[in-house]
Structure 1
Amino acid sequence: MNTIEQLYHKFQECTGVSTDTRRITPDCLFVALKGDKFDGNQFAGQALAAGARYALVDDPAVAARDQERCLLVTDGLTALQDLARHHRKTFSFPVIGLTGSNGKTTTKELIAAVLSKNYQTYATIGNLNNHIGVPLTLLAITEQYEMAVVEMGANHQKEIELLCSITQPTHGLITNVGKAHLEGFGGIEGVRKGKGELYDYLIQNGQTVFINSRDKTLTAMYRERLKHHRPEAVFAEAIFYPAVDSPNEPIELVQESPVVVYRDSNGQEITTHLPGRYNFENMMAALAIGDYFGISPEEANRAIADYNPTNNRSQVITKGTNTVLLDAYNANPSSMSAAIRQFAATPAKRKVVILGDMYELGDESEAEHAALGKLIADSQFDLVILAGKDMHYALGYLPKAYYFPDKFSLHNWLMDNPMSDTHVLVKGSRGMSLETVVPFI
């Protein structure tokens, strides 16, 4: 059985880490993981044949087939996490950890864009933010970097605690706390506790916390934990943004649709590629962190203005005479409500919403989808199109809505009913893959 020191020595000989035989790069380390329907150990030989330098396995029979290149451990996932934890200890630069119910990935991207103006910055790629993705993120960070931004996601309590033990952030941020993953967290109070584990780690370890001073939930959460963790809390640093006692004029939201325009402390107006007040909050976080690390306001504003999403999040797409707001990477009651309210306030000749199921709501799913139906009805859109098995709970408030149990029948309807001169909001949980409707609009 290999020790973590032995594993790390082997890892240093490799060019990277992969858990997928379809993504083997020359001389990488293949880590065999187990799932409900697969056992990565069975693919170790295939990974080595495809060019992996070593395969980390937890099946003795598999390891016996190639004792030189198969590295035997007790548990593949635990070994991956321990390897990342060991690698993290070699970093001498700031590591910013962030979590939240909504806006994590956009905020991560904005922070990285701002910090990259002065520093070689590594940020979580895509959505590698869980108990597997975070270790892979850390193991991809090499000595050339000067800053890291690590996104941490969770769908149950104690998960952020685990990810913090691996990431060991020196600075941290919670974007917000809302109705996401209610099934796993056990309700909104469970979400507060779960996300607050980032504050717990930072306070206990005397690190720096960035807090949106306008968010009463976050400020209350921080103060509760500060009181609980004394005397450790004495050594923690809290940066509130916007600063209440700042001599400078606060950054001001000028326009929130179709894209955010804000005015900086010098009176200059900055036009971005992102819509919505919720994205303005994400920008504020990035600007605050940039300021803390010495990025000039001019450079930070330029980074925010230049950022253009391409990941199904807050994308504004022109389709002929139609304008599509594609926000189909994920959805929960909080983000859905914010998007609908924002879209309702957007000036447009004709407005249509295409909305899909919100996942992982457990026993709350019926009530939350019904509440969404009432909000949509109150918003008085020109056309409402719903897709997914749980969206039928919203129909009680929407007798004139078009409902499709699956998105494929929705595709056919859109082909038969072309739109023009229309603003369209497309939003649903990741499993709905509603970005597939865009070609039919």
Structure 2
Amino acid sequence: MSLAIQNIIPVIHAKWFGKDESCVIDNVSIDSRSLQNNNGTLFFALVGQHHDGHQYLSELIEKGVRNFVVHHVPEKLADQANFLVVDNTLEALQEFAAFYRRQFDFPVIGITGSNGKTIVKEWLNFLLSPEYNIIRSPKSYNSQVGVPLSVIGINEKHNLGIFEAGISLVGEMERLGHIIQPTLGVLTNIGSAHNEGFASETEKIQQKLKLFENAPVVILQKNDVIEAFLKPGTKAFTWSFDDASAEVLITKKTASSFEIRHKNETFTVTLPFHDKASEENSITCLMVLLYFGYEVQTIQERLVHLYPVEMRLQVKNGINHCTLIDDSYSSDYQSLKIALDFLEQHKTHKKKTVILSDIFQSGFTAEELYSKVAKLLKNNHIERVFGIGDNISAYLKDYPNFIPFATTQEFVAHFNPNEFEYETILIKGARSFQFEEIVVLLEEKTHETVLEINLNAISHNLNFYKSKLKPTTKMMAMVKAFGYGSGSFEIAKLLAHHKIDYLGVAFADEGIALRNAGITMPIIVMNPENSAFAAMVAYQLEPEIYSASVLKKFIALAQQKNLYNYPIHLKLDTGMHRLGFEEKDLDELIGLLKNNNLVEVKSIFSHLSSSDVPEFREFTLGQIQKFDVWSSKLISALNIEPIRHILNTSGIYNFAEYQFDMVRLGIGLYGVGNDAEEMQQLENVGTLKTIILQIKDIPTGDSVGYSRKFRAEKPIRTATIPIGYADGIPRRWGNEKGYVLVNHQKARIVGNICMDMLMIDVTNIACEEGDTVTVFGKSPRVTELAEVVGTIPYEILTSISHRVKRVFYKE
């Protein structure tokens, strides 16, 4: 990209406020934290329900960015940069992307549907790449923001585009269609996803088809209802398993082979999948190959090599205290930029290493490409690069601390685990390089049970609770108890990315661990022990003060260390009767703090005991009233302006009108609400998975497990899985009370749960040893498990053993 800023002004209908009219734009950004921002960047200050890009303009100017699209010019910055003022910065970004798309004249495939969009896009890229230089949406960039950013990645060397478009509301697809301008439409499966945004299934179909308003041809499974909504003049190129009027008729011959009838030709293809969704997605890709006129032999040879698509970046624990960012299945220039931003957000150590393969389909010459790659690596302060492949080895040989290898096998042969320690490592390679072998070498070895943490879901849940608050209300997020079992550091990094105001931990050692891991934001220790005060000061942790005796001890320490206005947080006991000052203690508290410059009251707070129980609403309102009166007395007597907060997760949901200056978000962040309605608004964060170790046939009368608690009344098949009560699974979930999912089917737990294993009934489930088993996640939800065993979700989540590997991922 190389565009004069003056040519952009009329495109986005902007008013110009600036001095340098000659500058050239070579990069577009919406993320103030990206290390790729520079003086050639045009920054769009997007405004959303919970964020405002205008807040970061001064920070960006300090980093050298000089060109901004805004809806107003901050008064203090008026003379420091070029500003393009528009009514709506998101619409301006979309108009810019549509303008940029019109500069290129080559085929563009637009993909939409309820399911399968990203998979079909990635498979089409694989199938068509030998003949085309393809630009495609990175990952699942299919939103109102993701689509324009994807299209802006086009360059002069591309000759085919593949972009996906996803919508959840009426009116969104017209904007995406205006940006993508597809010459070929592809409609994947229409399912129930995002139904809530539309009045009916018919309305959803009509809205999705707006992507194809100007596309001459649309590929879809034969469906008279859908075809009736296509714009007149748009040709439907259809396929079907049973409707002979479709242009392509598909007949399943065996578990993996299909007969294809198209025009006067009949041939067979073999697919490497057996599930219905993958078969349909594969057929959709086959239709594109037929539309492009590929020979039968080529179609047959390529379809058989389709592969499972990994659509997410994963954060894993590595050997020798390393952290791995696993993106080992793709290598293109656009996704490298995304992966480097992700690396910066989730780094655990200052030292950053990248293991990178040759990059394909960039659209640039090799010299141009690797010059850009070197610049990206330099801007992201990558200290060491392992390059695998002939091209990267040749063109990056002068990059500082660059270590070349011709092949993955050569890297594996020379691998020395002692060369990797206390660093964050991005592993990014094209599929043909089989970088999963490198991941195996570098990943910390644990048993097959993992707790997968969806970082997108945490962001969603955070934004849900933010939507209940005023824009000025601060947010404190609780990451105590190892982040409610999810992993405190990784969650803390994400929350820092969202610019949360405070983190809360239970004990000083939890806060110290976060500091040692690089977390710099304010941290409150909710249960400080007197013996840990010195360590807290050393690590800049802020104590909760809940009694006069504790306050006196901390003041004594402050005198000893010559502290000045050290931040403390006063807890009032308004009815929980756990910790805190009561009304009778306030005068003594005022006496201790008045004219005291050793400490500063940063906040005053209390804790609601029953905000999740409707029948105790009056009691909760009484707590809030006490808090308001007591804290007001302290504020007046001490002449201070502290932050006040009393609402916890259920308080935010049920009593948002009493949010004061800050709220504390806990279990809701991790996807657990207090009632069914609240749960519907939250996304599942943690999914506990394991595998089948062994399958057994149990004859009638035989027993399974300790104490012979289960006896087979008829012949059954059982599977043993490597997870038990030492991993955090309650024994009460056993003996047919609980179940797990195997290949999306319920498998009841039979017999007593053992320390490290449990057994399940798979009599009517097609499965094999090594298949994945879901213990909890979207189904069964952890709330269901907790209800059956008579506890609360907090206990289940925080009981998941540290020996269970945590894998963090982002879609």
Give the shorter-chain TM-score range. Answer: 0.5 to 0.7
Q: Does 1:20 align with 2:31?
A: yes
CA distance in 1, matches of 2:721, 2:791: 11
Q: Do the aligned residues in 2 keep the contact of 1:387 with 1:410 (CA within 8 Å)?
A: no
1:34 paired residue among 37, 47, 66: 47
Counterpart AA for 1:237: K
* 1:103 aligned to which of 109, 116, 141: 116
Partner residue, 1:278: 277
Where does residue 423 of structure 1 map in the other structure?
Answer: none
Does the Cα contact within 8 Å between 2:115 and 2:191 map onto a contact in 1? yes
Deviation at 1:133, TM superposition (A): 0.9
| Equivalent in the alignment of 1:134 | 147
Q: Does 1:197 align with 2:196?
A: no
Relative distance call for 1:35 and 1:5 in structure 2 (3 A) is closer
Distance 1:310 1:98 in 2: 18
| Contact 1:16/1:140 (8 A) holds in 2 | no
Q: What is the alpha-carbon distance in structure 1 between the residues aligned to residue 129 and residue 284 of structure 2? A: 15
Counterpart of 1:74 in 2: which secondary structure? coil
Counterpart secondary structure, 2:95? helix
Give, as a single letter, the amino acid of the residue that structure 1 aligns with 2:30.
Answer: T
Aligned to 1:60, the other structure's residue is in SS state: coil
Q: Any residues of structure 2 matched to 1:368-407 within 5 Å, and which? A: 380=748, 382=760, 385-387=775-777, 391=781, 404=793
* CA shift in 2, pair 1:409/1:168, >3 Å: same
- What is the CA distance between 1:139 and its match in structure 2? 1.3
AA aligned to 1:391 is R
Change (3 A) 1:206 1:109: closer
Instruction: Specify the alignment match of 2:85 in structure 1.
Output: 72
Counterparts of 2:81 and 2:268, CA distance in 1: 64
Counterpart CA distance in 1 for 2:179 and 2:269 is 41
**CA–CA distance in structure 1, aligned partners of residues 98 and 721 of structure 2:** 47
TM-score by length of 1: 0.66
1:288 alignment counterpart:
287
Which ranges of structure 1 fall in alignment gaps of 5 or more residues?
Answer: 214-218, 227-231, 256-260, 334-346, 355-371, 419-433
Contact (CA 8 Å) 2:141, 2:147: kept in 1 or not? Answer: yes
Q: Do the aligned residues in 2 keep the contact of 1:101 with 1:180 (CA within 8 Å)?
A: yes
* Paired residue secondary structure (2:158): coil
Report if the CA contact (8 A) 1:212-1:240 is conserved.
yes
Match of 1:207 among 216, 230, 235: 216
Q: Paired residues, what number? A: 365
- Tell me, yes or no, if structure 1 residue 412 matches structure 2 residue 801: yes
Q: Deviations over 1:386-430 (max 9, x none)?
A: 24799267569x958999559853642873xx9xxxxxxxxxxxx
Q: 1:310 to 1:6 in 2, by over 3 A?
A: same
Match of 1:183 in 2: 196
Task: Report the equivalent of 2:229.
Answer: 225
How many percent of aligned residue pairs carry the same amino acid?
24
Larger radius of gyration: 2
Offset at residue 352 of structure 1 (A): 6.6
RCO comparison, higher one (Cα < 8 Å, 6+): 1
Residue 368 of structure 1 is matched in structure 2 by: none
Report what 1:344 is aligned to.
none
Looking at structure 2, the residues matched to 282 and 41 of structure 1 have their Cα atoms a distance apart, in angstroms, of 42
Q: Residue 207 and residue 351 in structure 1: after superposition, are their counterparts in 2 closer, same or farther (change >3 A)?
A: farther
1:78 is displaced (CA, Å) by: 1.3
Equivalent position amino acid for 1:22 in 2? R
Aligned equivalents of 1:71, 1:54: Cα separation in 2: 8
Q: How far is the alpha carbon of 1:236 from its aligned partner? A: 0.9
CA-to-partner distance for each residue in 1:273-332, whole Å, 9 max, x for gaps? x6622111111111111221133444445554154423259x99999895999997999x
Q: Could you say what secondary structure the match of 1:85 adopts?
A: helix
RMSD (CA atoms): 4.7
- Rate the CA distance shift 1:15–1:407 in 2: closer, same or farther, 3 A: farther
In structure 1, how many angstroms separate the alpha carbons of the residues matched to 2:234 and 2:790?
A: 52
What is the CA deviation profile of residues 346-367 of structure 1, one whole-angstrom value per residue up to 9, with x for unaligned ones?
x96637799xxxxxxxxxxxxx
SS at match of 2:74: helix
Q: Deviations over 1:10-34 (max 9, x none)?
A: 9993222110022234422211111
CA–CA distance in structure 2, aligned partners of residues 104 and 351 of structure 1: 35
Closer, same or farther: CA 284–269 of 1 in aligned 2, 3 Å: closer
Conservation of the 8 A alpha-carbon contact between 1:117 and 1:295: no
After superposition, give the CA deviation of every residue in 1:69-91 in whole Å (9 maximum; x if it has no partner): 33222221111011111122223
TM-score normalised by structure 2 residue count: 0.38
Is the CA contact (8 Å cut-off) linking 2:185 and 2:215 kept in structure 1?
no
Match of 1:360 in 2: none
1:153 — aligned with what? 166
Deviates most, 45-54 or 281-290? 45-54
**Contact 2:450-2:807 at 8 Å conserved across structures:** no
Distance 1:270 1:324, change over 3 A: farther
